[in-house]
Amino acid sequence: MTIQPNSIEARDKAYQLHSYTNAEALQRDGSLVIDRGEGIYVYDNNGNKYIEAMAGLWSVGVGFGESRLVDAAAKQMAKLPYYHTFTARSHGPSIELAEKLIQMAPVPMSKAYFTNSGSEANDTAMKMVWYRSNALGKPEKKKIISRIKGYHGVTIASASLTGLPNNHRSFDLPLPGIFHTTCPHYRAFKQEGETEQQFVTRCAKDLEDLILREGPETVAAFIGEPVMGAGGVIVPPAGYWDAIQAVLKKYDVLFIADEVICGFGRTGEMFGTTTFSLQPDIMTLSKQISSSYQPISALLINDTVYEPLAAESAKIGTFGHGVTAAGHPVAAAVALENIAIIKERDLVGNVRALAPKFQSRLKALESHPLAIEARGIGLIGALELKPREGFAAGQLGPKLLAIMMEKGLISRAIGDSLALCPPMIISEAQIDTIFDTFEASLEVFEKQLSA
């Protein structure tokens, strides 16, 4: 596109560094500037309309332009625009939200702790695990295991937990003491002749072998998303989580469930923990907790984590951790109203009702000559493109994405996988529009590649 001098696109490339972006390419090509949103749609500054089939960043569960969230923010802003939760201070919205989350938790939890993003929540979980080990007199029990292709954030600690190369390259990551075990993507990681159940058994054995190699007395925790999101929407095979949790229990390793993408309805249950019968010690929450109308995240911790932490804080005199905006009253008020909307409108029920349609249409794309695999659950999914001669891995996805956007559909290219994660308010007709556009884009792309 031609960028006019002094336009908003020109000012953007002149002054802003973007996340997950080739900075030099941005200087050449500019950015898409989104001006407003309504329901499942967003509009750019030139008036072009798009279906936001990624719900922003997996997060705008109740859709764009929800007036109840705007009103909740304005009301709280007028009453108490800011206060903190340091040094035994508190305020109503954070108390109400903590109570709500503990009551909603799918497994028994003791306390909620607030941060501002999924990255911060997972970073804090790592610190809590270390703090707990010291409290228990086990200073050597500090190692944490994540998974290849897992995504847990971008702070120094959470990016170390993330198992994606571009989150490590040139950042001198991961930190020591962080290990990555087998990704539960059967098609991509199976061995020749290996059945799905044999693959599950091997995943569990790989984890156990890693724990034994490092020494169970040194391994403190394992972190995993119920369904991997930014790693390519990877749904674990049947029996995977049962096998993994048995290993964790055997070696007294804490389980951190990263619910940042799965939480608040995405998989067809309020939490992915319920979908896969998980028993985590810590749950990290963000994104759909407020539909990203305000930045907020939370950790839910059980008594196994909380009691040693509390004892250590008494010994030291404080739990020396916190960020200025944690439990921000405006963000907490918006999160409370967002959760109320999800429940009142039965958006989790809407996900369950529409998931068969969504997944059926996604699966149908798998038969396209350019496709190799469709993956998904609930209202989240991805289509992966076949490797193609003359194209390096990760080059096809962005090319198809560009065609989709020209047709008014926003997806996300995760390498050569095109992800979908629309707002949970979506209708059956709108699902058809998404996949009709996806199919049309594939046809255009196939013709381009054949030309």
Domain 69-344 class, CATH top level: alpha beta
> What is the mean pLDDT of the segment spanning 31-38?
97
What are the pLDDT digits (tens) for 369-387? 999 999 999 999 999 999 9
Q: What is the pLDDT of residue 87?
A: 96
pLDDT digits over 111-159, tens only?
999 999 999 999 999 999 999 999 999 999 999 999 999 999 999 999 9
Give me the pLDDT at residue 2, please: 75
pLDDT of 4 reads: 84
Taking only the tens place, the pLDDT of each residue in 50-88 is 999 999 999 999 999 999 999 999 999 999 999 999 999
Contact call for residues 265 and 229 (beta carbons, < 8 A): no
Residues 83-113 have pLDDT tens digits of: 999 999 999 999 999 999 999 999 999 999 9
pLDDT at 451: 82
Which part of the chain has CATH 3.40.640.10? 69-344
Work out the pLDDT band at 329, boundaries 50, 70, 90. Answer: very high
Predicted confidence (pLDDT) per residue in 219-257, tens digit: 999 999 999 999 999 999 999 999 999 999 999 999 999
3: pLDDT confidence band, cut at 50, 70 and 90?
confident
Taking only the tens place, the pLDDT of each residue in 400-420 is 999 999 999 999 999 999 999
Residues forming CATH 3.90.1150.10 domain(s) in the chain: 32-62+346-450
pLDDT of residue 203: 98
pLDDT digits (tens, 9 = 90+) for 421-438: 999 999 999 999 999 999
Work out the percent of the chain whose per-residue pLDDT is above 90.
98
Mean pLDDT of the chain: 97
Instruction: Give percent of the chain above pLDDT 70.
Output: 100
pLDDT, tens only, 343-371: 999 999 999 999 999 999 999 999 999 99
pLDDT band, residue 336 (cuts 50/70/90): very high
pLDDT band per the 50, 70, 90 thresholds, residue 1: low
> Domain 32-62+346-450, what fold?
Aspartate Aminotransferase, domain 1 (3.90.1150)
